[in-house]
Structure 1
Amino acid sequence: MTSTAPHQSIIDKPFVLDLFAGPGGLDVAGHALNIPSLGIEWDKSACLTRYAAGLDTLHADVSAVRRDAFESLPPEINVLAGGPPCQTYSVAGNGAGRKALEEVKSYIARLMAGDSDEKIDKELKKLSDPRTALVLEPLRYAIQATRSPNRGNRPYDVIILEQVPAVEALWQRYAFVLENIGLPDGTKYKVVVDVLDTETYGVPQTRSRAVLIARREGLGEPVLPAPTHRAYEAREWNRGNDRISAPIHQPTLDEENVPEPQDGRGEEEELLHWTSMGEALAGPVGEHLGRKTPFLVRSNYGSSGNPGRRGVRTDRQPAATVTGRISRFVVFEHLNDDIVHEGARFSMNEAGMLQSFPPDYPWSGTAQAQQVGNAVPPLFGAHLLSAALGLPAPAADALRTPWTPATEEQRAKLRSQGCGAADDCTARCPRPEDQAPPPSTSHSRKKKASPQ
Structure 2
Amino acid sequence: MIDEAAVDMVDLFGGPGGWDLAAQRLGLAVTGIELDHSACETRRAAGLGTIEGDGPADFPRATDLIGSPPCQTYPIGGKGAGRRALDAVLHFASQLAARKDIRSGLATLDDERTGLVLEPLRWVLEALDAGRPYRTVMLEQVPTVLPVWDAMARILRAEGYTVVTGRLNAEEHGVPQTRTRAVLVARRRDKAALPAPTHRRYSRSSAQNGGDLTLLPWVSMAQALGWGMTHRPALTVAVGTGAGGPDPSCVGGSGSRATLYGERDAGRWIADTRLKPADSLPAYRGGRKDMIRVSASDAATLQTFPQDHPFQGTRTKQYEQIGNAMPPLLAEAVIRGAMARELAARPSSQAA
TM-score, normalization by structure 2: 0.77
2:305 is equivalent to residue 357 of structure 1: yes
Name the structure 2 match of 1:328.
249
Deviation readout 1:234-258 (Å, 9 max, x if unpaired): 2224999xxxxxxxxxxxxxxxxxx
Higher relative contact order (CA 8 A, sep 6+): 1
Name the structure 1 match of 2:36.
43
Superposition map of 1:215-254 within 5 A? 215-216=187-188, 218-219=189-190, 221-237=191-207
Name the structure 2 match of 1:250.
none
CA distance in 1, matches of 2:134, 2:121: 11
2:22 is equivalent to residue 22 of structure 1: no
Name the structure 1 match of 2:178.
206
2:61 is equivalent to residue 146 of structure 1: no
Percent of paired sites with the same residue? 44
Name the structure 1 match of 2:220.
276
Shift in alpha-carbon separation, 1:89–1:17, aligned structure 2, 3 A: same
CA distance in 1, matches of 2:115, 2:272: 48
Deviation readout 1:382-429 (Å, 9 max, x if unpaired): 001111101679xxxxxxxxxxxxxxxxxxxxxxxxxxxxxxxxxxxx
Unaligned runs of 5+ in 2: 1-5, 241-246, 251-259, 261-268, 281-292, 345-352
Aligned residues: 298
TM-score, normalization by structure 1: 0.61
Residues 67 and 138 in structure 2, CA contact (< 8 A), matched pair in contact too: yes
Q: Which amino acid aligns with 2:85?
A: A
Shift in alpha-carbon separation, 1:28–1:228, aligned structure 2, 3 A: same
CA distance in 2, matches of 1:108, 1:356: 33
Name the structure 1 match of 2:103.
121
Shift in alpha-carbon separation, 1:79–1:193, aligned structure 2, 3 A: same
CA drift of 1:371 comes to: 0.8
Shift in alpha-carbon separation, 1:51–1:206, aligned structure 2, 3 A: same
CA distance in 1, matches of 2:90, 2:236: 29
Q: Which amino acid aligns with 1:213?
A: V
CA drift of 1:124 comes to: 2.2
CA drift of 1:169 comes to: 0.8
Shift in alpha-carbon separation, 1:342–1:276, aligned structure 2, 3 A: farther
CA drift of 1:21 comes to: 1.1
2:137 to 115, 140, 159: 159
CA drift of 1:97 comes to: 4.4
CA drift of 1:111 comes to: 1.2
CA drift of 1:144 comes to: 1.6
CA distance in 2, matches of 1:57, 1:215: 25
Shift in alpha-carbon separation, 1:143–1:334, aligned structure 2, 3 A: closer
Name the structure 2 match of 1:109.
94
CA drift of 1:20 comes to: 1.1
CA distance in 2, matches of 1:334, 1:281: 9
Helix, strand or coil: the match of 2:196?
A: coil
- Higher mean C-alpha deviation, range 127-136 or range 202-211: 127-136
CA distance in 1, matches of 2:18, 2:80: 32
Larger radius of gyration: 1
CA distance in 1, matches of 2:239, 2:76: 21
Q: Which amino acid aligns with 1:136?
A: L
Deviation readout 1:322-342 (Å, 9 max, x if unpaired): 11248413885288xxxxx78
Helix, strand or coil: the match of 1:88?
A: coil
Name the structure 2 match of 1:319.
234
Cα RMSD of the aligned pairs, angstroms, is: 2.8
2:146 to 168, 171, 195: 168
Name the structure 2 match of 1:422.
none
Superposition map of 1:43-442 within 5 A? 43-61=36-54, 64-65=55-56, 70-71=57-58, 73=59, 75-90=60-75, 97-115=82-100, 117=101, 120-148=102-130, 153-179=131-157, 181-182=158-159, 188-216=160-188, 218-219=189-190, 221-237=191-207, 268-282=212-226, 295-296=227-228, 313-314=229-230, 316-325=231-240, 327-329=248-250, 332-333=270-271, 345-366=293-314, 367-390=317-340
CA distance in 1, matches of 2:208, 2:64: 43
Name the structure 1 match of 2:263.
none
Q: Which amino acid aligns with 1:49?
A: T
Q: Which amino acid aligns with 1:318?
A: P
